[in-house]
A and B are shown apart, each in its own frame.
Chain A
Amino acid sequence: MQIPTIAPAKTELDYHHSFEAAASHHEGHPDHRLFGIFVFLFAEGMIFFGLFAAYLIYKATAPVWPPEGVERELLLPAINTAILVSSSFVINQGNAAIKKNNVKGLRFWLAATAIMGAIFLAGQAYEYSHLNYGLTTNLYASSFFVMTGFHGLHVCFGVLLIAAVLWRSLKPGHYSSTSHFGVEAAEIYWHFVDIIWIILFVLLYLL
């Protein structure tokens, strides 16, 4: 092989743009936190994806699903679902409020979201204590508890996050129409928890 035969004219890349000093050097560093949260929630979602996939395999290989003896109650979970889903709209109102610099409105809507989240958790706890199966009864039961439990942890964390934002909003001027990252973070997280629940609900109660 000989080198000169590799035609330099065929150069694939044009690297030679000399960039003029695009002196748009912003001091202080731009906020990448929102993007970071999306990236992180994607990873978080993949944990649930793993659990869902396992659940679907169990379902697909079982002759009867859910296994005999498992009664799936629908009313309470449906109410719970309605509460959680509507809370997503409620927290969005909070975000809209702060965009108009309405801190009072923000507090109101956030408090409402937190309460709805708490009701959801209470409903979940009630359901747990009234089921005719336990963690180790069968594959459905184990999946049910692990999946709803793991999701419940996320709801708990979401409520705490909202409470933290509420707490901070008490400090005058902490959030404003231009600076309210905490509110947005809490909202995105809450929507995430909500979306996961909808998938969970369909998988566990309807399929």
Chain B
Amino acid sequence: MGKDHEFAFYLGCIMPNRYPQIEKATRFVLEKLGYKLLDMEKAACCPAPGVLRSFDKVDWMVAAARNICIAEKLDRDILTVCNGCFGTLQEVNKHLKENEEAREQVNEHLKKLGDYEYKGTIEVKHIGEFLGADIGPTEIQKYLVRKVKGRVTVHYGCHFLKPTRTRQVDSSENPVILDDFAEAIGLVSVDFRQKLTCCGAGGGIKAAYAETSMKILGEKMKNMTAVQPDFILDVCPFCHLQFETGQDWLNKNKGTNYDLPVIHISQITAFCMGMDEQFVGLKYQMMGKDFKFTPVEVESHD
């Protein structure tokens, strides 16, 4: 295994605290693909791309750069499974690589935190980009032991693709990367209204304006359920949390009766690569506790 088959695995906050099953699934997928994940000791909050930056951009960059420095010391690219972490780490990394003035300023602050110096030697990867583009819908076929039948509403979220000029992953207005991947593992990605809007969690809205956050999610759920999907496919633990707890809130407060399972791309991919369904961990989630995937056999690759 060379450097290009190793990542510094950035966990973030929500996944290890709320959804360890996403972490397990991610580790399973990467191992099966022949990748090694290195732990980032002393890594801290990314910090969230909307909130802290709005208050203090420099501190936001410094905290992010510190995380990047940890990966730089490991000499590995960062892998994250979260849109928010990706939003912060990718953007700060790109900005500091391109802007000498900001780099010097951030490094001045980093000195105060210990043995940290941002050098700009690594890249930041999102699991959606890694699976959807680096591995890709064709290559992934070699690793699938089964596919899953079902209709799925794909939720891209915000920071994975926006702003397009910074991310350079896919068009943020008409993306196909996740839909193509979903189709590659047997799913049908169904189109729905306002597919690319926010889930309502990010930017501090969930904490500061809970009602508004739920209003946005309510719209989202209405548009998704209108096309009767089997489950929601997402690429971000924070969106995941919003869909999970939000459906529950809407059911309790707005008289809805939602029970749509929420599946992270790592979870479904791990299942298709042979992980036992119990480890997908739906029973530990709030929605679709009894949901079972409909597996489809695939021909052996041996």
Asked if A and B are interacting partners, one says no
